[in-house]
């Protein structure tokens, strides 16, 4: 049983709650700014379109999104931001990838190292874990949708697989097929609980419940860092472990 989409759902729900306090707004705005470097028109910039959609889903004000697009595309002056990907290992040797957007890498790197060290993990060097992951599209769909219908729509649009993820269906596809699968699901009026580009490991490590908790707590601590956009790990957490942390 898989569980990437369930973990993403929990993360998004937490993000929605944090957004009410403005906690995640700056991260979403930064993501829009970075994406807009590839062009300020979302019709011709897929990455920007996705960043705007995510910001809107978290109810970032429209004027904040517009300013971020203009800053990223150079129409307005903005802060100097850099995308830096960090790699490391969680407790038990779980490979991780961390995507950041930062205005000061001399601050971000040591702070992430401290988070890893305190959790019994290790921040690695460039290339340490990236080779273990592939960029993929990920969708989570309610179990109320019939499997046969979902298979027909998703696979015809280019999805690689549809799996039972416990609390929902999990659809994965190649990164380049993300848009076509997303449009096909929307066209079939199949709502998605999760819709994102992600990193999924080629091979995952098996962990007992306690080690899963330790790694999930580390991922949450990394997620809390202001410069971190996303964190990915080479293991599939069990629903019960995710739920126990969410409740706690």
Residue 142's contacts (CB-CB under 8 Å, 6 or more residues apart) are 168, 169, 191, 193
* Residues 98 and 231 sit within 8 Å (Cβ to Cβ): yes
Q: Spelled out in words, what is the top-level CATH class assigned to the domain 4-73?
A: mainly alpha
Residue that is written with structure tokens 């993929």 in the block: 136
Domain ranges for the chain, please list them: 4-73
User: CA of 7: how far to CAs of 11, 33, 152, 158, 241, in Å?
Assistant: 6, 26, 25, 23, 10
The first and second tokens of residue 6, run together, are 């369930």
Whether 160 has a pLDDT exceeding 90, the answer reads yes
Name the least confident of 99-113, 218-232, 233-247. Answer: 233-247
pLDDT of 248 higher than 80? no
Instruction: Give 182-219 pLDDT, tens digit per residue.
Output: 999 999 999 998 888 899 999 989 999 999 999 999 99
């Amino acid at each position: 049983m898989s569980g990437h989409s369930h973990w993403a759902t929990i993360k998004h729900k937490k993000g929605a709650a944090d957004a009410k306090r403005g906690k995640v707004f700056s991260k979403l705005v930064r993501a829009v700014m970075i994406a807009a470097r590839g062009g300020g028109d979302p019709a011709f910039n897929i990455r920007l379109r996705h960043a705007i959609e995510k910001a809107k889903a978290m109810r970032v004000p429209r004027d904040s999104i517009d300013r971020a697009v203009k800053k990223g595309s150079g129409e307005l002056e903005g802060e100097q931001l850099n995308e830096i990907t960090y790699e490391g290992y969680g407790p038990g040797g779980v490979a991780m990838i961390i995507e950041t957007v930062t205005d000061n890498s001399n601050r971000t790197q040591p702070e992430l190292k401290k988070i890893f060290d305190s959790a019994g993990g290790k921040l690695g060097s460039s290339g340490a874990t990236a080779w273990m992951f592939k960029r993929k599209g990920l969708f989570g769909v309610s179990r109320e949708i019939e499997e046969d219908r979902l298979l027909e729509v998703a696979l015809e649009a280019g999805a690689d697989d549809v799996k039972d993820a416990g609390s929902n269906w999990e659809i994965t596809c190649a990164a380049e097929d993300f848009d076509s699968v997303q449009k096909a699901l929307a066209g079939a009026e199949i709502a998605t609980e999760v819709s994102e580009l992600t990193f999924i490991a080629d091979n995952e490590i098996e962990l007992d419940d306690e080690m899963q908790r330790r790694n999930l707590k580390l991922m949450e601590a990394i997620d809390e860092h202001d410069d971190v956009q996303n964190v990915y790990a080479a293991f599939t957490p069990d629903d019960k472990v995710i739920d126990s942390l969410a409740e706690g």
